[in-house]
Structure 1
């Protein structure tokens, strides 16, 4: 199930063996599994996504770099 999060600080991920990449601040779609977090966002006409270990994602949330949206009733 997808939910939305807002990137408000420095959030980075690694594409394969490449360098660390930053996710721009703003709204992202989040899909969580037991092991991974997938973030998806729009930049212009491009749909981008990043996959990171769930522990890394939870660290970003705990630090305040990612803000979870309140559940809707």
Structure 2
């Protein structure tokens, strides 16, 4: 299921064993699976970005208000 959301706080993902990378603030599409959420966005330079984060981490970001579900931040 694809869902619209907005990044409105500090949200990061960690590729492999690398350092955390910030997901830019603004609109994202979220694709949910059983154990993860994949966030997709377009950066200011029109570059596409995508990151999978554990579902528990996604839910924490939502509960902390860093990800607002729906088209507009609350």
For 1:62 and 1:3, how far apart are their aligned partners in 2?
16
Match runs of 1:33-48 below 5 Å? 33-43=33-43, 44-48=45-49
Match runs of 1:1-73 below 5 Å? 1-43=1-43, 44-69=45-70
Structure 2: runs of 5+ lacking an equivalent: none
More strand, by proportion: 1
Q: How many residues align?
A: 70
RMSD (Å) for aligned C-alpha atoms:
1.1
3-state SS, counterpart of residue 55 of structure 1: helix
For 1:61 and 1:45, how far apart are their aligned partners in 2?
25
For 2:66 and 2:46, how far apart are their aligned partners in 1?
25
Normalising by structure 1, what TM-score? 0.91
